[in-house]
Amino acid sequence: LAEHYKHHWFPEKPFKGSGYRCIRINHKMDPIISKAASHIGLSLPQLYQLLPSELTLWVDPYEVSYRIGEDGSICVLYEAAATKPGSSYGLLTCKNQMMLGRTSPSKNYIMTVS
C-alpha cells in the first residue's frame, strides 16, 4: 500500500487523494487487496472466504476506517493524532464526505479476521 499510495499521500491535507485511497470490495475483489494477499500467499478464494462480500476501507493519513455492507456503520480501525499543529486533519476526509447527511453517528467496532 505504501508503494501504491506514494504519490497520493498528503499528511498536511488528509482529504487530498482520498478517493484514490478508498478500497472497495463489492462482490468483486479490489486489485490492491488481491496483489497484497498474493504477496503473503493467500489465494483469491481464500480472500473471499476471509473478507465480507461488501467492504469499504478508507485509508487516510492519521485514520483508517471501514464499513461492512452498503448501509453499515462507519467504524474506525486505526486513529492517530496529527503530527503538525494546525493541520487540516479531520476536516474532509473521504470517510467524512460519506458521513455528510447521515442521521445517526457511526459506532466504533473492531474488525477481526480469523
pLDDT in tens, 8-63: 777 777 666 667 788 999 989 999 999 989 999 999 999 999 999 999 998 888 88
Strand order in 22-26's β-sheet? 22-26, 54-60, 63-68, 74-79
Residues pairing with 24 in the sheet: 56
State the pLDDT at residue 21.
Answer: 80
Compare 94 and 83 and report the one with higher pLDDT: 83
- Residue 100 — very low, low, confident or very high, per pLDDT cuts 50/70/90? low
pLDDT at 13: 72
Residues 56 and 67: their CA atoms lie apart, in Å, by: 5
pTM of the model: 0.62
- Average pLDDT over every residue of 72-99: 66
Distance CA 85, CA 39 (A): 37
Q: Would you state the CATH architecture of domain 2-79?
A: Alpha-Beta Complex (3.90)
Domain range annotation of the chain: 2-79
